Amino acid sequence: MSRSPSSTRHRAALAGLLTAAVPAALLLTSPGAHAAPSAPPTFTWKVSQQFVDHFAKAGYNQNTFVASDGASLTADSATVFGDGAGWANPTTGDASLQYAGTITGSFVVGAPQYSIAISDPAITIKDGAGQVTADVAWTVPSDSANPSGGADDVVVTTFNATASDWSDGALTATPDWSTQSFAPEFMDALNPGLQPHFRTTGGSSDAKKAPAPFTALAAAPAATTTVTQEDDGAAEVAVAGTGYQPGGLGIYVGVTQAGPINPADAEAYLGTQWVNGSQIAADGSFSTTLALTAEEVAGLDPEASYEVHTMKAHGQAASDPSQNVRIPIELVIPATDEPGTDEPGTDEPVTEEPVTEEPVTEEPATEEPTVEEPATEEPVSEEPAIETPATTTPPTQAPAAAAPEVPQVVQTDGIGGPAGSATPALGAVLVGLLVGAAVGIRRRLAGEH
């Protein structure tokens, strides 16, 4: 069964909000299908070649150059800050990314002379204008009046970057050096004695003081889902995302059949929620819950796969697919308990009963021809037919024409002879004829019956 979810509720899904509460019973968890870059989100930067070289250990010093708090050093002494978080939009080029770790350079000759630490850098890009910010701390033990200091989240340097500078979640850029100095905020956060390392002074090392190029990796939008279902199929899908762009009109989150994201078809999505841009945290995280009724789940195709889709809200997804994410989910879809499919198909066609019982025409066909009884009983009239002729009444009355009376008739006709001559013999003949005729008539009558 193929079904595109549709209802007034879902037709308005991408223009409004849906909420419903469904208790939890069955728990399933799925990771996001939209993968982040292969390398973990990191920010790799030397700060400047001067920063690396000045704190490098040499024969005359005991300098240290140490990465800590999650940072590490490459073979050429670039610092790799890890644990990247935030978001980047490769379509527009905008980004807000934060990293963790500290790089500390200490200049030591016999005793610590000074140190500079740069921690937890971040990059932000808006409309092509970018900046690197970080926490800064320093020490100058010999400056009794101002031995240490620093500031948090100061702009260290600036740069320009557009969407074309991003490639597979990675941005490589070179900060601006047009002013021959790092950003004013950073400079102001340093002890005055340390500032010359980050601006031109006319010395031989000026060529190394420019901010070094950096590479920032961004985690693409991704999400995890937790599905809970009741016995009747009603489901809640909890969605937690990272790497999404905050602000603006936000994103839509909904359940649909597995396949390409289709921002133009609101009816293809169930349980859609609008996550306003203000509901997405600065680090790109959000959470929401989608609710699907038992009826909606039962209407899904048990042979199909389903996903949670995220996309930019209010018609922006077509031109900016940066927030398009597909997350596979598992739903227990009742395949046979669906009302209106099996019951009508099986119970109503209980036409087998009418077909078998109503055509109980076998009984009429067998019982009505019970007319065989009348057909057999009526011929029982043979008894009257046989008994009537069998009456001995005619044979009993036949002696009425007995021989003694016949001679009397003959004598009346004048046939006679001498007394006691042929008359008796003739009479006997006549009587025999009459008796024979009577017997013949009787037999014939008996034969007819």
Count the helix, strand and coil residues of the chain and give each as a percent rounded to the nearest 5: 25, 30, 40
Output the pLDDT for position 232: 92
Q: Who's near 18: CB < 8 A, 6+ residues apart?
A: 9, 10, 271, 272, 273, 290, 291
Which residues in the chain come in under a pLDDT of 70?
Answer: 1-39, 335-433, 435, 437-449
- Report the C-alpha gap between 274 and 249 in whole angstroms: 9
Q: The sheet that has 306-312: what strands, in order across it?
A: 270-275, 251-257, 306-312, 325-329
Say how many C-beta atoms besides its own lie within 10 A of residue 371's C-beta: 9
Output the pLDDT for position 18: 32
- Report the C-alpha gap between 127 and 155 in whole angstroms: 17
DSSP 15-43: TS---------EEEEE--SSPPPSSPS-E
CB 328 within 8 A of CB 258: yes
- Report the C-alpha gap between 130 and 133 in whole angstroms: 10
Output the pLDDT for position 170: 95
Residue type, 280: I
Q: Nearest to residue 119, comparing CAs of 139, 140, 107, 104?
A: 104
Output the pLDDT for position 381: 42
Burial class (CB in 10 A: 0-12, 13-18, 19+), 58: exposed
Distance linking the first and last C-alpha atoms of the chain: 83
Output the pLDDT for position 27: 55
- Report the C-alpha gap between 413 and 227 in whole angstroms: 139
CB 219 within 8 A of CB 41: yes
Q: Who's near 302: CB < 8 A, 6+ residues apart?
A: 1, 333, 334, 335
- Report the C-alpha gap between 198 and 189 in whole angstroms: 12
Output the pLDDT for position 128: 97
For domain 8-34+223-329, give the CATH number. Answer: 2.60.40
CA R_g for the chain: 59
Output the pLDDT for position 370: 44
